[in-house]
Structure 1
Amino acid sequence: MATQTSDEADRLYPLHVSDPSLSLEILKNESRCIAVEYLATAEDTVSMSELVDHVVEKKDEQSESEDTHRRAKVRFHHVHLPKMEDADLLHFDTDHHTITPMERIQQAALSLKGFALPSAQ
């Protein structure tokens, strides 16, 4: 059986990270998928508030309450952004609450094309 080169593995498994289950973990959550799509189109660094506002608007058009935003910000800060940073999709500056998309975010967004977003989790 032939072994794959690193370039072949990146092409076949664009979100390859040291822990393969992390790749699936990133894309199995609706909020992270929306964030990946948004960050892939970002020109530069975005604020966490800007990202969370976008995700809340896309997910829950009827209930954009202050409490919904607060809970989403906490979840992004403590769960979603660290997971996405571990997968080398972005850099999260916790001091300034800014997010800088990394090159791999484009690959992640391409992986989402043609797939239905997972239901909220």
Structure 2
Amino acid sequence: MPRLDMVGLLMSNSEQRMTTETALKLLTNQQRQQILRRVADTPDGTTVDQLTQHLEGEDSLQPDGNGSVEHRGIELHHVHLPKLQDANVIEYDTSQGTVHRGREFQNVLRLLEAIDDHQEETSSSIS
């Protein structure tokens, strides 16, 4: 039996480029989810500085103490933004420090929204 491809369900046949596994791996990290939500809210793009400040405001300090603005900026630059860029989810201009939506952005955002909707439904049915 063929496996269910969630991203495939959310995309038209001509748009299918990313596997569900790849999209879900990207979405396992809360900071990457926050990055995608922020980029979704800024259609003209954003800067690494703005993303760093946004993430700092969302989740001030991690239990390990790695919540400083400087640490978040380093983590964005060296970990999260390159992963999202490699998957064509964002376009990251390191020289300008800007982030824009990539070719796969809408597809991964739709999956994130589906996950968010499911979590809301699950939490409201438990209440």
What is the TM-score normalised by the length of structure 1?
0.71
1:24 Cα deviation from its structure 2 partner = 2.1
Aligned length: 109
Structure 1 residues 74 and 31: CA distance shift in structure 2, 3 A: same
Partner of 2:49: 49
1:68 Cα deviation from its structure 2 partner = 0.7
CA deviation profile, 1:93-113 (whole Å, cap 9, x unmatched): 111111111243222222122
Structure 1 residues 36 and 115: CA distance shift in structure 2, 3 A: farther
- Which structure's relative contact order is higher, taking Cα pairs within 8 Å and 6+ residues apart? 1
Structure 1 unaligned spans of 5+: 3-7, 62-66, 117-121
Partner of 1:39: 39
- For the aligned residue pairs, the C-alpha RMSD in angstroms reads 3.3
1:9 Cα deviation from its structure 2 partner = 8.2
Query: Percent identity, aligned pairs only?
Result: 23
Does structure 2 retain, via aligned residues, the 8 Å contact 1:10–1:16? no
1:47 Cα deviation from its structure 2 partner = 0.8
Provide the rounded CA distance (Å) in 2 between the counterparts of 1:53 and 1:94.
17
Give the structure with the larger helix fraction. Answer: 2
Structure 2 unaligned spans of 5+: 62-66, 120-127
Provide the rounded CA distance (Å) in 2 between the counterparts of 1:22 and 1:79.
16
